[in-house]
């Protein structure tokens, strides 16, 4: 029985090691085939994304798709954005150790884990809490992990003057990455390239009646 148990344990260890090797290979392929080929080449971005296990932030039945080039369903209508979206967001945000970051996320925690190793502090709030802003103030960087139609005034009010903003935006049904800055109390956003970003319904603009 001891021999059988040892063989069983050995088989389990081999299976776990094989799964780990598969994810390691997929992570390297993500870097080389999705990020580098799309212009995300900053060494610090690639190092950060190579060091965080994306498969740990998705449901068990979605782990095999963790490194695919599209959003991964998290359940309840939420999605983990594609690796390219997060790579582009990090690249545009350019966080530093001096940054106090407010992250509006979907609860997966992946982008928070990436930012945690790059900035001074990260506070994460759920989209449905964003209307009340963060718990603190004077955030120097706001990152919204999703596409929005508008940013709540309370969310922008907690930003320091000259704070940077990186978010997805929805314009006529098309999602784009956008960057901005707070100046004189207002946040102006500038839309960049079109890219598929999961939409956050909590940030929908009020619908206007038309006749």
The 3-state DSSP composition of the chain as helix, strand, coil percent (nearest 5) reads 40, 30, 30
Residue 56 Ramachandran class (φ > 0 left, ψ -120 to 50 alpha, else beta): alpha
Q: What local confidence, expressed as pLDDT, does residue 162 receive?
A: 96
Name the pTM for this structure: 0.88
Report yes or no on 179 lying in a domain: yes
- Number of structural domains in the chain: 1
Cα(10)–Cα(18) distance, rounded to whole angstroms? 12
Report yes or no on 198 lying in a domain: yes
Q: Residue 37: is it exposed, middle or buried by C-beta count within 10 angstroms (0-12/13-18/19+)?
A: exposed
Report yes or no on 132 lying in a domain: yes
Cα(89)–Cα(95) distance, rounded to whole angstroms? 10
Report yes or no on 16 lying in a domain: yes
Give the CATH number for residue 122.
3.40.50.150
Torsion angle of C-alpha atoms 136, 141, 144, 145, degrees rounded to 10: -110
Residue 2 has pLDDT above 60, yes or no: no
Residue 11 has pLDDT above 70, yes or no: no
Tally of CB atoms within 10 A around 85: 23
Residue 17 has pLDDT above 70, yes or no: no
Report yes or no on 209 lying in a domain: no
What backbone torsions phi and psi does residue 152 show, to the nearest 5 degrees?
A: -60, 145
Report yes or no on 140 lying in a domain: yes
Q: Considering only CA atoms, which of 203, 42, 73, 196 is closest in space to residue 127?
A: 203
Report yes or no on 47 lying in a domain: yes
Q: What local confidence, expressed as pLDDT, does residue 56 receive?
A: 96
Report yes or no on 208 lying in a domain: no
Instruction: Give 21's pLDDT tier (boundaries 50, 70, 90).
Output: confident
Residue range of the domain that includes 70: 2-203
């Amino acid at each position: 029985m001891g021999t059988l148990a040892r063989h069983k344990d050995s088989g389990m260890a081999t299976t776990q090691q094989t799964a780990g090797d598969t994810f390691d290979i997929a992570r390297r392929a993500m870097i080389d085939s999705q990020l580098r080929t799309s212009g995300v080449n900053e060494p610090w971005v690639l190092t950060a994304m190579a060091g965080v296990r994306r498969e740990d932030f998705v449901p068990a039945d979605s782990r095999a798709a963790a490194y695919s080039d599209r959003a991964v369903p998290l359940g309840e209508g939420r999605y983990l954005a594609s690796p390219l979206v997060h790579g582009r967001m990090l690249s545009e945000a350019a966080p530093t150790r001096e940054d106090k970051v407010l992250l509006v996320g979907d609860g997966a925690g992946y982008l928070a884990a990436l930012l945690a190793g790059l900035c001074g502090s990260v506070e994460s709030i759920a989209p449905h809490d964003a209307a009340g802003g963060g718990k603190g103030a004077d955030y120097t960087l706001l990152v919204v992990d999703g596409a929005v139609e508008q940013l709540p005034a309370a969310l922008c009010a907690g930003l320091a003057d000259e704070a940077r903003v990186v978010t997805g935006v929805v314009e006529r049904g098309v999602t784009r990455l956008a960057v901005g800055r707070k100046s004189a109390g207002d946040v102006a956003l500038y839309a960049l390239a079109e890219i598929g970003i999961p939409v956050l319904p909590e940030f929908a603009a009020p619908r206007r009646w038309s006749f």
